[in-house]
Structure 1
Amino acid sequence: MLNGHKFLVLPNEDTSRRRYMRTLIDKNGGQHGVEIGLIDDSFVHGDHIINHKLFYKEMNPNDVPLDQLRLFKLSDLTKWLKHRFLDFSKPLKLHEEVVVETDSQESNTGVPDTHQVTSPSETHDTADTNVSHSSDANLIMPMNNPNYKLIKVLKSLEKRYKLQNDTFRYLGYMKMIKILQNVRVKIESEEDAIENGLSKGLSKKIPFLLKLGESGSELKMDTSEQTLLYFQECHGIGAFKSKQYVNMGYSTFEDLIPYMNWTQLTGLAFYEDWQLSIPREETMKHEAIIRKAMNEVNENLCMEITGSYRRGQPRSGDIDIVVHMPGQNDLNYISRELEKVIIKLTETGYIICPLNLNETLKSLFQPWFHKLFSHFNKPFDVKAYDEPVHKFYCGAAVTKYEPDRIKDADALTLKGNDKKYKMDIGKTCRRVDFLLAEYQGLGATNVYFTGNNNFNKKCRTIAKQKGYVLSNDGIYKDGQLIPVADEYEILDMIGVDKLKPTERNL
């Protein structure tokens, strides 16, 4: 069937999947080229090739005649062989993407720095698939920001590269957005950008991005990107796994059910609930219920809800709780006490489902698991280990929440037949995470989990300059832990202003 055709598999790291593809080609009369050791990164998104600089550099155009190549997905080949029909009518497109490089990425590869944006006529879906939300769940972009249009374009690109797991470009866009959100004058040129805090490397992209923003062009996600986002919003399915599923031709959760484990099934059951923001008032109700249970189990158990809630923000994405006991550094002991709290909260109906287990908790949640596997019509399959739980992740509910039209505008919903997987418990299920802390490292733990990311980065950088290592479980000097339970003592040690949690929204 493949006689007369020669194939070059890109990227062709010697993995079992690539070896299988080459075997298929050989068995069907085709040939494959000499192995070219490319970095194992996907070059395909939607109907076009991405990562052009790497693509050109590693392919070496002097050895490979690009003008004679027709580019297809590996999944296309398997479909052709299954149906015994070759279809070369829809090759992938080789065109440049919009690129913003961070300063550390500046390079000279000899590749022309051209830019194209997918036009509406090139997209495969006319649905409203524009990406406009920030990585910060609490941030609502004000329409009166003078750089609103520019920020909107940047948010689209930030989301696109985050989906592609392209960390450098994603961080580049995120950096630009954070700076521009605090700029109160309109950026109209590269010079304006530099004067307002953007580096030269980022500023040189401003004219093109301004033109894009003023034209009203939208950066719509293609079908592949829509599916990546759809899958990745399910708990337990990350960038790597979602890309695998898309490359295999899957587009719905109905396709994935046979491959999903119990934590992913739980994420799918509460897919829509876990997309929604949590109002501060609701978090306070969670706090009251948990504190009451802890006091009933052991009066020495202490808790602190961290993250954006502790920083005074009106909404959170989930509820992170640091648990400790004064003077206690034995996490196994704290874990046994927390297990009693978990049992109490589950028996009262507050905790709905677990996301990690040990043998004790597995027995506790047997009724939930039977309900879960029955809901998805799958055989019972749950593994647990007989060890203390130093972190406990779960879903819990206190009330029914009605989504906010503006603040929850970017929340995804299940599509088509996938809607049948939604589990309705009469309340809105929320992600609640318990994190145990040793008392001797509590100060650093509270700094880390309170955030925000910018404040944490500042603290770690200054600590390193002074010979310390600041982590989420303590502060170290010459490899030795320095016992500090007070977060303000940590800040004083490293020479950072002792800001209150509500002042750390940098």
Structure 2
Amino acid sequence: MVPEAQRIFTGLSLYFFPNSDANKVRKRRIEKAKEYGAVWTKVWSNNVTHVIVDNKMTYQEVTKFLKLDTLPPEIIVVNETYLFDCISYHNLLDPKARYYEVPGMPTSSTVVEVAKLLPSELSSLNSSLPLKPAKNDIQILDTPSASVESGDVHQGQNDPAQDNLLSPANGTPNEPENISFGYNDELSAIMKESQSLKHIPVDLEDEDDTASLANSESDSDDDSKGNPSTKPKKSWQENFQCMDKHDGANTDANPNSETIEILQQMSEFYDRIRDQWRTLAYRKAIASLKKQSQRVIFQEDAVKLPFVGHRIAAKIEEIALTRGLRRLDNAKLDPHDQVLQMFMKIYGVGISQASQWVQQGYRTLKDLEKSAKLSTNQKIGIAHYDDLQLRIPRAEVEHHGAVVRDALRQMDPEFQVTVGGSYRRGALSSGDVDLIITRPGADARSLNISAIGTLVPKLESAGFLVAALAKTSKDTGSKWHGCSKLPTSDVWRRIDLLLVPWDEMGAALIYFTGNDIFNRSIRLLASKKGMRLNQRGLFKDVMRGPGRVKVTDGILLEGRNEKRIFEILGVPWRPPEHRIC
């Protein structure tokens, strides 16, 4: 039990409907109520103070089962949401609020007035207002589960009300398969304004979650971690993210959609401060939640999911119970953190430089322009800060790609330009424009001469490429990073020209399409199979020395055909729009 001062349900006798812990979610609800001081009343009696009704049940189903015309007015009847909201506020809330109503519940003045009473005021009512006798003078009724366990047979056993709750096969309560805890806009608004959640711990770090990423996906070779009794055991390869379809659809219909949304904001927060490991930890946890068919509420359930550590599991429980996350709220309210995030959005600025500027007392972009020592790229990033923060609509991404494609084909009709990144995955908007450039038979050197030597100067003179931010040559490929601007617009956009030799195009498409979780997964799978996958191709027999330092590149299995790489690895073909992990 929680400390005595936090036992807000002390003195309450709760009757659940259905009054059985056979359902896993209801069992957890009952356990939580007992932790906070409540007594679970398994047999109906005049000691009951509250009836907690599953959200999918009605008031009439309760009264029909109990053989009552109506429940005694001194008994408070609420839906399942009430308990967790009380725990969230660490206080007993008004049970007559509309969002705690059970469908079909009468709204007589007597019921409303009694519902206003606090539990401490109910003791006198219990002695002065006798429980209305059930029909046939039956004063006490067992629940169906209690009847079966004891072997007793009650009058009215074949009553339709009981038939609704009993399975014909074994006489046990029929449990709805997907009981979820409903949430509503009014309650969410109140929760966000609440300042009474001091009892909820705030974890500023997630060490165990980031550390858990060191374990490979294949270590989780028993799918029963997520759903113990619904799926057969998977082979080790089936546990990899790349083996499943991830199209990003139906997120709103997911029972964990509210939790996913808040965890996504935490992931974006860590992404902004360049904490790639925590970003990845949250994204992997989100991917696990998206696969669940029931709402995950408690920490002990969340930690059983693949790639969910104890700290993120605690945050999942906090979100499920409070509709919010204090860690995220604190991050949003911290003025220094807001300044840090603003500085880190400047092109060419990392967390180290941004933190240094904050420590030096800079608070605005104008402060930096006036006094800070800035590189050329940082000056460009500040001058066009607002433009470079904007998402680029899909149609505009296409337009940028068309400008480059037309210019290349004027040079050589065989040039091919593929728009990669989130655009290729079907996103409606993108953060930048990734253009993969190749030509049949071309190697890295010829692409550099054509694209970097001729194309870039041509587009600069036309006013399309307005700034060169970086040029890199690595792994026999080349990249040109800069900014572009359409002739009909003054808005600057980030653009990357990715030069890929023809024989490496298939592997490059995988690499430059993403997303990063999908890429990590398929590359890890290749490693587990004794192969190596990078942006140049899929290799076997790669020799490594101490510390897994690569000694030889190995033998190339496939580089040009994207689908063939999937086939060799035994991964079902996943079109780009199914790689949204």
TM range (shorter): 0.5 to 0.7
- Flag the 1:164–1:443 CA change in 2: closer, same or farther, 3 A: closer
Instruction: Choose from 202, 207, 211 the match for 2:317.
Output: 207
Distance 1:243 1:214, change over 3 A: closer
Pairs within 5 Å for 1:74-93: none
| Equivalent residue, structure 2, for 1:271 | 385
Question: In 1, distance between residues paired with 2:309 and 2:202?
Answer: 22
Task: Specify the SS of the correspondent of 2:456.
Answer: helix
Task: Indicate conservation of the 8 Å contact 2:401/2:435, yes or no.
Answer: no
Q: Which residue identity is paired with 1:480?
A: G
Q: Determine if contact 2:318/2:325 at 8 Å carries over to the other structure.
A: no
Deviations 1:267-304 (A, max 9, x none): 12221111111121112222222111101112232221
Contact 2:362 2:368 in 1 (8 A): yes
Aligned length: 327
Distance 2:252 2:577 in 1: 25
Quote the Cα distance in structure 2 between the aligned partners of 1:233 and 1:140.
Answer: 29
Counterpart of 1:177 (choices 256, 261, 286) is 286
Residue 502 in structure 1 maps to residue 565 in structure 2: no
Taking a change above 3 Å as real, the CA distance of residues 278 and 166 of structure 1, as seen in their structure-2 partners, is closer
Residues 32-43 of structure 1: matches in 2 within 5 Å?
A: none
Whether the 8 Å contact between 2:262 and 2:324 is mirrored in structure 1 is no
Are 2:268 and 1:193 aligned? Answer: no
Match in the other structure for 1:480: 554
**TM alignment of 1:62-81, pairs within 5 A:** none
Per the alignment, residue 300 of structure 1 pairs with 414
Report deviation, 1:218.
Answer: 3.1
User: What is residue 471 of structure 1 aligned with on the other side?
Assistant: 534
Structure 2 residue ranges without an equivalent (≥5): 1-200, 213-246, 543-552
Please give the alpha-carbon distance, in whole angstroms, between the structure 1 residues aligned to 2:508 and 2:382: 31
Shift of 1:448: 0.5
Contact 2:419 2:436 in 1 (8 A): yes
The 8 Å contact of residues 304 and 323 in structure 1, kept in 2 or not, is answered as yes
Preserved contact between residue 474 and residue 481 of structure 1 (Cα < 8 Å): no
Q: Any residues of structure 2 matched to 1:39-188 within 5 Å, and which? A: 97-103=203-209, 105=211, 146-163=255-272, 165-183=274-292, 185-188=294-297
Shift, 1:191, TM fit: 4.8
Would the alpha carbon gap of residues 446 and 481 (structure 1) be closer, same or farther in structure 2, given more than 3 Å must change?
farther
Name the % identity.
28
Residue number in structure 1 paired with 2:39: none
Tell me by how many angstroms 1:441 deviates. Answer: 2.0
2:470 corresponding residue in structure 1: 356
Which structure's CA Rg is the greater one? 2
Alignment partner of 1:233 is 2:345 = yes
8 A contact 1:102–1:172 mirrored in 2: no
Question: Which of 384, 394, 399 is matched with 2:482 structurally?
Answer: 394
1:337 aligns to 2:450 (yes or no): yes
Q: In structure 2, do the counterparts of structure 1 residues 318 and 140 end up closer, same or farther at CA, with 3 Å as the change threshold? A: farther
Indicate the residue corresponding to 2:513 in structure 1: 450
**Contact 1:441–1:475 (Cα < 8 Å) also in 2:** no
Shift in Å, 1:481: 5.2
The match for 1:410 is: none
Q: How does 1:213-228 map to 2 (within 5 A)?
A: 213=323, 218-219=329-330, 220-228=332-340
Assess if the C-alpha contact under 8 Å between 1:393 and 1:434 holds in 2. yes
Letter in 2 for 1:475: L
Task: Give the Cα–Cα distance (whole angstroms) in 1 for the partners of residues 251 and 383 of structure 2.
Answer: 33
Q: Sort the Cα spacing of 1:184 and 1:396 in 2 relative to 1 into closer, same or farther, 3 A.
A: farther
TM-aligned CA deviation for residue 148 of structure 1: 4.5
Secondary structure of 1:234's aligned partner? coil
- 8 A Cα contact 1:160 1:221, kept in partner: no
* C-alpha separation in 2, matches of 1:164 and 1:465: 32
Contact in 1 for aligned 2:447/2:499 (Cα 8 Å): yes
Contact 2:348 2:381 in 1 (8 A): yes
- 1:189-233 deviations in Å (ceiling 9; x for gaps): 235535765646343543334344359993334121111100011
SS in structure 1 at match of 2:467 = strand
Which letter does structure 2 place at the counterpart of 1:171?
L
3-state DSSP of counterpart to 2:378:
helix
C-alpha separation in 2, matches of 1:215 and 1:287: 40
Instruction: Quote the RMSD (CA, aligned, Å).
Output: 3.3
**8 Å CA contact retained: 1:183, 1:196:** no
Q: Is 1:290 aligned to 2:404, yes or no?
A: yes
Report the 3-state secondary structure (helix = DSSP H, G, I; strand = E; otherwise coil) of the residue aligned with 1:175: helix
CA distance in 2 between partners of 1:347 and 1:389 (Å): 25
Q: 1:247 aligns with which of 350, 359, 368?
A: 359
Q: Is the 8 A contact 1:234 1:268 kept in 2?
A: yes
- Provide the C-alpha distance between the structure 2 equivalents of 1:333 and 1:207, rounded to a whole number of angstroms: 56
Secondary structure at the counterpart of residue 532 of structure 2: strand
Q: Which residue number in structure 1 is paired with residue 491 of structure 2?
A: 428
Q: Distance in 2 between matches of 1:389 and 1:149?
A: 42
Q: Structure 1 residues 178 and 499 mapped into 2: Cα distance closer, same or farther (>3 Å)?
A: closer
Amino acid at match of 2:430: S
Higher mean C-alpha displacement, 159-168 vs 238-247: 159-168
- For the residue of structure 2 that corresponds to 1:440, the secondary structure is helix
Given the alignment of the two structures, is residue 441 of structure 1 paired with residue 504 of structure 2, yes or no?
yes
**DSSP 3-state at the match of 1:470:** strand
Q: Secondary structure at the match of 2:470?
A: coil
Q: Are the counterparts in 1 of residues 388 and 494 from structure 2 also a CA contact under 8 Å?
A: yes
Instruction: Tell me what 2:566 maps to.
Output: 491
- Aligned mates of 2:248, 2:361 — CA distance in 1: 35
* Secondary structure class of the residue paired with 2:385: coil
Q: Secondary structure at the match of 2:463?
A: coil
Amino acid across the alignment from 2:404: I
| Aligned equivalents of 1:447, 1:97: Cα separation in 2 | 36
Distance 1:215 1:271 in 2: 30
Unaligned 5+ runs, structure 1: 1-94, 107-137, 359-384, 401-425
